[in-house]
Structure 1
């Protein structure tokens, strides 16, 4: 039996459903709030929170989220995503193409450590089951984690920084927020215990890095691990945009990862003839 036009219209209208935005002619509602009430009153971190969580945060919660977003915006043109954005511009891509190319590189290895660290910390929290976390329990979870994912523990250690200055500052802000009752400090404690456990295993301190510190903040604020990479991408997109724009002003044409004067290493067969 064929459908009536009314049935088709209802089916089409029900195809997508959303609790996020309600748009009608002359009206835009975000989570129920008229957009004109949000403009000029909500800061960008508060808008991110509203979009993802459905409600506006307390000011101190938004401050902590903002600190994490600010901390991770850039780490120089040696970071693959930043380098990609600059190379893409020299290949003729517009800003949006350069940004898209760079963001596509932010996957499990480059860009995924924060989300992975959140998963590890949540695994510890689940094992604790409401009790205070202990070093012994953390070591047991680390054994399970490394058995499943390999020896690299995301969120700790850094190839450039012996001590990551961003992590130091962010953890200080978390402890300050804990003292004011904004967060409970559970994941900050878990992160510190993971750092201690890794130090025991390696025989030297393996400090928390930016990915670990932002993982602590996002979990303290109640964000699920599945949003960790997206939040990092929101932050790093600022650096990607800035570098793409700077490269556009500098010019340059088809710049690869190394200048032509720096050769790569060829490891194939010696020159030979096809006979």
Structure 2
């Protein structure tokens, strides 16, 4: 009897969780009965509840939702979107196409938001230690580029001279600062980086979508790694949309570029076995 009890206790504790409590006829998410959440909270609020343990207030939910909406898609030239379309044309079902595409959202394609939050946090830490905003920004940027190279996540864009998504998000951030629903510290840090880059490069290097959403996630208290996680949730919407559109075209085995376009061969010229 004791052994059976110990085994049951071990099994119950093996996957212990504070997220959900399920029993026959009862589902509670973070303590809330699911039937009270259904129809009363939005999907962004539900994401927040799952990740943070409490529901966001109205101002937090609005800003969080704006960041999620802004990141859903960036066209078929974005690697993750292109992968979803190619995978669908190769016969994968929607879930397979989505998994293939989401797996590409790693450090290079998809990690800039997390990296920008890490950069902002390092600068905030220097300010907390007594540095001025300008000093902390310069020290933080120099330390980041020394460790990671010259690419600075969240600033500049190879396609947009000025990223329209960032402009709108930053205006919402400014409204939230005026309403005192967020501190504005991370917005000031990000703009300080913009100013430093403009000074050093003698031209504007505006914040992009990753830098602006990183401001929002940092202002809302999300850990850097969660900035990438929620970006994946957002971009999954675009990935699904493109996979579904491609599914309806009945095209087979689409590669990364049209067959009519050649690639460049850089190997040895034709040769033969002696």
State the TM-score, normalized to the length of structure 2. 0.98
For residues 2-151 of structure 1, what are the structure 2 equivalents within 5 Å? 4-129=3-128, 133-151=132-150
Structure 2 unmatched ranges of 5 or more: none
What SS class does the counterpart of residue 28 from structure 1 fall into? strand
What SS class does the counterpart of residue 248 from structure 2 fall into? helix
Which residue does the alignment assign to 1:173? 172
Aligned residues of 1:89 and 1:98 also touching (Cα < 8 A): yes
Structure 1 unmatched ranges of 5 or more: none
**How many residues of Structure 1 are paired with residues of Structure 2 in the alignment?**
274
Distance 1:209 1:187 in 2: 15
Which residue does the alignment assign to 1:190? 189
Q: For residue 134 of structure 1, report the CA deviation from its aligned partner.
A: 2.1
Deviations 1:227-250 (A, max 9, x none): 011010010000000000000011
Aligned residues of 2:89 and 2:246 also touching (Cα < 8 A): yes
Deviations 1:56-92 (A, max 9, x none): 1101110000000000000000000000000000100
Aligned residues of 2:113 and 2:211 also touching (Cα < 8 A): yes
What SS class does the counterpart of residue 23 from structure 1 fall into? strand
Distance 1:18 1:53 in 2: 13
Q: What is the Cα-based RMSD across aligned positions, in Å?
A: 1.3
Distance 1:74 1:274 in 2: 50
Distance 1:111 1:141 in 2: 22
Which of structure 1's runs of 4+ aligned residues deviate more than 3 A?
130-133
Aligned residues of 1:89 and 1:247 also touching (Cα < 8 A): yes
Distance 1:274 1:229, change over 3 A: same
Distance 2:2 2:117 in 1: 48
